[in-house]
Structure 1
């Protein structure tokens, strides 16, 4: 930054939306001190000290170096230099412009000079990126080729560098949905749904929508009416509602963060997932199918020996009732796991090596205890493990083979 450069040429990219620094040097220094949270450039006189602190004793505790130098100098400067606060008399301190230059250079990842490509062109609009328009459906380009009252078009803080909603939508789709064709297709569908609703309500463009408009759109998704947004005049499914609002919220958040909008009318539009109304567990399998699996494990292999059946039942019980992953039942020599423990209250706990090779303790329900006792007895072990037990009682082989069914897992090893 040269000494003649205006501080307003610098953009604070750490704010949402990005913000231009004040043009006045002192105002820019005060802005940096407020946003960075440390001293940048402060002038101290004895009168300023008396106006800030209730007593000179308090001032001496807060600024001992400043107070010492004020004994010999009428004006003392505190300034930021290379990560430290330094103090010097006004004649020995660097100029405010030099301090401003150093601080902006130190935080150059956040503060940047607005490049010429992002400055407004002669027609009052930023330079457009036409290559990204391929992500926008062709019928929507004409409708979106406008800018609303909240669009930050002729400003260097518009880091997208575009002047209408069509190009802003294209960049949003490119940055947020281009990794997956399915995501891109879903985002396009929801944008078409929003545009269709705007046309029905005679609203638009998108950068002109207010918070009231977006709340009305949310209500239109939730209840059927002659203004319903789907083709069959039916209430949109709850999952589709959530996806539609999430896409809208993501679009306006992206526009605000990149400076294309001056405000985010969709803030708080999506409040997260549905809250649970109870703690009742929900299973993916119906009860009848679980009962059939229980019978299959217990009675479906009468021709097998008792140890194989008991081992299979132990695996199934831990998998179903305790949520233990099959790989966690494989014996680990270095961790000496899995291991069973029983406390004085007859409560069983299984210690396993979980994800990330982190140990975890799994309290076992009472239903698992008799099944494990039977299996242990058939393995020649006491029904209940002692505190000093050190036995390799594996439920799965040390190397899990590639299998095609739970039966093969139960019979392996």
Structure 2
């Protein structure tokens, strides 16, 4: 492979990689902010560090190997640095090639790389394969129903089946933020799962009667209608969101001429308006303490790196109050990312709803877990300014996605619940149905109620569009009202 054929389009102006292998490795390592491939010797260690003690603290795995090896190779693999002997190391060419492919958005091969999307390469042509649905579901979508105006000149989408029409809807209406796109995909998939269970479809074939039956189904517990938790009915808020997405999809299709009629017209009409946010899914201090204690217990069958990653994930959700998707790597923005100011204070930067950036100060208990996790990944304990490594790595390569993050937090809830079964069965049951978003509620309540942080400051930390949402956490419950009454009439 000629690495001079590769272009770094993240540089300004776009920069061609050096043709020399070592120079190309040095360049990529520099712009990404982490090691790509490095042969360590004692001579190199002495040049890089003031003392062997400093070297041992910074690169313990390298120093252990150099005790009985003349050369130790450190290379980047699946989101972490690995250290092996020279005999066991992969070829540097293959390591660099793999890193370039992982960062395919930044590094392009060929002269046309900087202008890969030209006038003839429209996003509409790419959309049908960019829905994020499983292959089997994409095949199910790849049909057109009775209401699809395939050959009509008024079909301004210019597509011939639901698969392409769904993809264009997600592109046009769901591109505001990854959170919006994720919510739209979830609800479209839920509707498709219900159609499959009822032997209906495709979506452009559904009648108003079909959609009204789907609306009624959302109110009932279901085993096969695409619910995230089979056997449980959706909450009123979740039902409203599900129907709003369906109505938006059919309205978009009708307005663009893909459908001849809107079967979802008026589907959400008559629903009661949102009277005010009042969070109900709360964990008590004792339940949170049980989870905190559980995360400090390293199970013998878990690799240290996996355990450290789980601690880091837990403490980010626990002490930063982020939404589930805000810890998913967003390559276009290089977020989430960590910053350290001149005083050593750590800040988590995320991309929130509406693609709005948000900076969240991190407490020391969270920082220590992140440092331990970074060391085991082979990264410096302190993030460097030009670092481009994903915040949370995937064990099979790339980054950990939303479902993986959910599973890591859920593992803590389930383990803590098992320990509470004997002493607090009610608390254990609560933990078993908890989700990562409950930690966001706990964070918000700590700010607004326990610490009485001013609402505008809490709103900024939580990324709420409306301060009324933040104020919802300040609503008193019955136990608080009882305390106020007891204090008020104590003298009597």
User: TM (normalized to structure 2)?
Assistant: 0.30
Higher relative contact order, chain-length normalized (CA < 8 Å, sep 6+): 2
Q: Greater CA radius of gyration, 1 or 2?
A: 1
User: TM (normalized to structure 1)?
Assistant: 0.36
* Structure with greater proportional helix content: 2
